Amino acid sequence: MFHATVLTIFPEMFPGPLGLSLAGRALAEGLWSLDVRDIRASATDRHRSVDDTPAGGGPGMVMRPDVLAAAIDAASPADDPRPRLLMSPRGVTLDQARVAALAQGPGVVLVAGRFEGVDERVIEARALEEVSIGDYVLSGGEIAACAVLDAIIRLLPGVMGNARSAESESFAEGLLEYPQYTRPQVFEGRTIPDVLLSGDHKRIEDWRRAEARRITAERRPDLPGSGKDRS
C-alpha cells in the first residue's frame, strides 16, 4: 500500500482536501495511508522553536537543520525506501511522468517548508529532493504537498473508477487533453461537434487526437506531443 508521510508545522491542515472526493474515498478504503508529523515535536526548547535568523543576515527566518533532521529521522529511518521530497519553489518542476513514477513506488515523504527556506545542510544530509509545483511562491509547502499527493493518489490502482481515464488526460503522451462536451446538445447557440454525435468511434478518436495536437501546439509548444521543432 502506498504510504505518505507529511512533515509540517501545521499538521491540522491535513488531510484537508485529501480527505474528500477520490483521495478521501481511497484513504477510507485503505488504498493509501497518510501519516502527518508535527516538526515542532522534535524541537528541544520550551518554545518548540523550529527556526532561527539567517546566517549572514537578511529578512525572515530559516528552518533549523537539527530540528528538521530529527523530525525526518523519526518519520523516515535510514532504510526507508521512500523518496524524500522538499516542497520548494527552486526545485525541479513536477510533471506527469514524475507523478506516474512516484505512484509506482511504496510511498513518499513530503517536507513542507516554511519561512525563508530550509538550512541547506539538512537538504544535503537527508538527501531531500526539491520539488516545485510552479514558478510562484506560496506561504508554505503544505498546499504544494497536497497537490503532489492528489496527483499521485488518483493514479494508484483502484482509485479511479475507470482506469482508462488517465490515458486521455492532459500530459498523457505529451499532449494536452482534447475538448470535452456533454448535454444539452445546444448551449447558448453553441453546438456539440457533429463528429461526437456520429457514433463512428474511429472518426471520434481521430478528431480527439487532432484536437489534442492542435491545442498542445497552441498552448504548450514545449511538450513533446506538440509537433513543434524544439531544437
What does residue 5 show for φ and ψ, rounded to 5 degrees? -120, 130
pTM of the model: 0.89
Q: Where are the domains of the chain?
A: 2-153, 169-226
What is the rounded distance in angstroms from the CA atom of residue 178 to the CA atom of residue 193?
12
pLDDT averaged over the chain? 94
Would you say how long the chain is, in residues? 231
pLDDT tens by residue, 69-110: 999 999 999 999 999 999 999 999 999 999 999 999 999 999
Annotate 136-192 with DSSP letters as a single string: S--SSSHHHHHHHHHHHHTTSTTTSSSGGGGGGSTTGGG-PPPP---SSSEETTEE-
pLDDT tens by residue, 17-63: 999 999 999 999 999 999 999 999 999 999 999 999 999 999 999 99
The domain 169-226 having CATH identifier 3.40.50.2300: the answer here is no
What is the rounded distance in angstroms from the CA atom of residue 32 to the CA atom of residue 158?
10
The CATH number given to 2-153 is: 3.40.1280.10
What is the rounded distance in angstroms from the CA atom of residue 155 to the CA atom of residue 138?
25
What is the rounded distance in angstroms from the CA atom of residue 221 to the CA atom of residue 230?
8
